[in-house]
Amino acid sequence: MTAVGDSDSRRSEHRSLADRAIRAALLHFVAATAALGLVGYAYVYTFLIDAPIHSDGVSYYVYLPAWIGDGDPTFETLARDCCGGFTADPIGIHRWPETKRWLAVHPIGVAILMLPFFLVAHALSWWSNLPRDGFSFYYQYVVGAAGLAYVAAGLALLRQLLLRHFSEAVVLATLVTIAFGTNLFHYAVYDGTFSHAFSFFLIVSLLLLADLWWEAPGWPTSIGLSVVAALIVLVRHPNAMFLAFVPLYGVRRSSDLASNLHRLWQRRGLVTAMIGMTMCGVAPQLAVYKWATTHWIVKSDPDGRFTFASPHLFGTLFSVERGVFFWSPVLLFAVAGLWVARGWARGWVAVTVAVLLANTYLMASWYMWYFGVGYGHRAYVDALGVFGIYLAAFFAWAAERPRVATAVRTVTAALVVLSVLQTMQYWTGVIPGEKTTWDQYRALFLRVR
């Protein structure tokens, strides 16, 4: 009896120690990831590439140097003087043929979210007597870190959301997997001025606020939800489809939909105010379009087009060139999570499937379905918060089945390590930026150089 008692007490002590370790790891996870991100950021921009504000990042950012740096929202000054060494076109503005006015390829949302970082860089540039041109030293390195800051904030919010519904161990495993088992870390550090880090933060915010709003629809939550909804549209217009997560909260069957509509009708004053606030938030973008083109809604990318009749579905999902599940295979566990999800997570399965399918069809129909140079399929970074919910649902399901749990732990750990290694391979140029073939992939597999 004593031996059994000792063993029980030892087991309980181990469990208590493990619980404390998990709690501590969960508490410090975001700070540790941000610190690691800063180390990666310093490494990348000291040894690997020149400027954090590069490629698409320039065209998302140009509003700030033009509007604040030059004090010229027409972009004329920027077009004339731009921009710290870039050649033509990558600055992402083009003259609208009819009006001859400049229009940026990308919308204003990322620039709005970068604004605090820009102002810090602007103040530092003034203080140190550096050029206040929007592209000199402080702008590059302070604004360039904005993506990392928003990813860290997004991870903190994802932790808060998941802790409301899952155990600490499951939440920790999910955060580690989302941060390092996918291309999120890359788009936080290396390409942190692209839109994806910002969209990740906003969509996680939307999920958390929607969860809180349906529970208790106070004004602070309603205003927060409206602001986030507007920013989601302002950062990347197609992401407006993620707003469906709000009205379709908890909808499993048609009767749930009727119930949600009834509850929305009961809150109609608040809902009307929220729609109004969201429209006000989006209005500046519409004003920009109207001024530049005389149209309220425009196709701002002159080369962009959709090929809806021939979407590259396999390429987008599974190809070596860019497939999301090829480069982040651990996300297949999230797909499995859609089947095994229970309780709260089950309530979002229908809307998740609908939004991810629509999003996939849209991205696969984009003429540049592989989204140019990049690591993994970058358009899915925006939705990693949604994947996180079903990854957690899958881990929670597996945790109740000891044999499955061991296998899932092993495979997940291996896939996270593989993802980290492949990220490093991409950073150091071992893996090509685009058009990777299976033969290339096999030849380069796990090669350091």
The DSSP bridge pattern shows strands 93-95 and 102-104 to be antiparallel
* 3-class secondary-structure state, position 303: coil
Place of tokens 């009205």: 247
Residue (91 or 392) nearer to another protein, CB: 91
Place of tokens 């989006």: 282
Identify the residue among 64, 82, 151, 274 touching another protein (CB under 8 A). 82
- Cβ contact 355:246 at 8 Å: no
Using the contact rule CB under 8 A, the part of the chain among 132-140, 203-211, 221-229, 415-423 near another protein is 132-140
Identify the residue among 79, 120, 241, 320 touching another protein (CB under 8 A). 79
Using the contact rule CB under 8 A, the part of the chain among 133-141, 210-218, 234-242, 395-403 near another protein is 133-141
- Cβ contact 110:235 at 8 Å: yes
Identify the residue among 131, 276, 302, 304 touching another protein (CB under 8 A). 131
**Under the criterion CB under 8 A, does residue 83 sit at the interface with another protein?**
yes
**Under the criterion CB under 8 A, does residue 80 sit at the interface with another protein?**
yes
**Under the criterion CB under 8 A, does residue 53 sit at the interface with another protein?**
no
By the 10 Å C-beta count (0-12 exposed, 13-18 middle, 19+ buried), 299 is classed as: exposed
Residue (193 or 205) nearer to another protein, CB: 193
d(CA 159, CA 419): 21
- Cβ contact 337:178 at 8 Å: no
Binding mask 94-113 for another protein (x = CB under 8 A): -x------------------
- Cβ contact 300:237 at 8 Å: no
Residue (26 or 78) nearer to another protein, CB: 78
**Under the criterion CB under 8 A, does residue 81 sit at the interface with another protein?**
yes
How many other C-beta atoms lie within 10 A of the C-beta of residue 226?
20
**In 140-253, alpha helices (H):** 146-163, 168-180, 184-189, 196-215, 219-235
Residue (54 or 236) nearer to another protein, CB: 54
Using the contact rule CB under 8 A, the part of the chain among 130-138, 144-152, 231-239, 311-319 near another protein is 130-138
Phi/psi of residue 93, nearest 5 degrees: -120, 150
Nearest distance, CB of residue 190 and another protein, angstroms = 21
Residue (84 or 217) nearer to another protein, CB: 84
Element (H, E) at 94: strand 93-95
Nearest distance, CB of residue 317 and another protein, angstroms = 38
- Residues 376-415 touching another protein, rule: CB under 8 A, are none
Identify the residue among 136, 160, 167, 260 touching another protein (CB under 8 A). 136
Identify the residue among 91, 169, 209, 389 touching another protein (CB under 8 A). 91
How many other C-beta atoms lie within 10 A of the C-beta of residue 321?
20
d(CA 310, CA 146): 36
**Under the criterion CB under 8 A, does residue 130 sit at the interface with another protein?**
yes
Using the contact rule CB under 8 A, the part of the chain among 125-133, 186-194, 302-310, 311-319 near another protein is 125-133
**Under the criterion CB under 8 A, does residue 137 sit at the interface with another protein?**
yes
Residue (127 or 265) nearer to another protein, CB: 127
Element (H, E) at 103: strand 102-104
d(CA 113, CA 374): 22
Helix, strand and coil percent figures for the chain, each rounded to 5: 70, 0, 30
List 447's β-bridge partners, or say none.
Answer: none
Using the contact rule CB under 8 A, the part of the chain among 122-130, 153-161, 224-232, 267-275 near another protein is 122-130
d(CA 433, CA 419): 16
Please say whether the dihedral angle defined by the alpha carbons of residues 213, 218, 221 and 223, taken in this order, is positive or negative.
positive
Nearest distance, CB of residue 54 and another protein, angstroms = 15
What tokens were used for 49? 């590439």
Nearest distance, CB of residue 77 and another protein, angstroms = 9
Residue (140 or 222) nearer to another protein, CB: 140
Size of the site for another protein (CB under 8 A): 23
Number of helices followed by number of strands (H, E) in the chain:
21, 2
Nearest distance, CB of residue 39 and another protein, angstroms = 20
**Under the criterion CB under 8 A, does residue 84 sit at the interface with another protein?**
yes
What tokens were used for 221? 């939550």
Identify the residue among 67, 75, 118, 135 touching another protein (CB under 8 A). 135
Using the contact rule CB under 8 A, the part of the chain among 24-32, 121-129, 216-224, 272-280 near another protein is 121-129
Place of tokens 């087009």: 305
Using the contact rule CB under 8 A, the part of the chain among 2-10, 80-88, 296-304, 306-314 near another protein is 80-88
Which residues of this chain interact with another protein, rule CB under 8 A?
A: 79-89, 91, 95, 124, 127-131, 133, 135-137
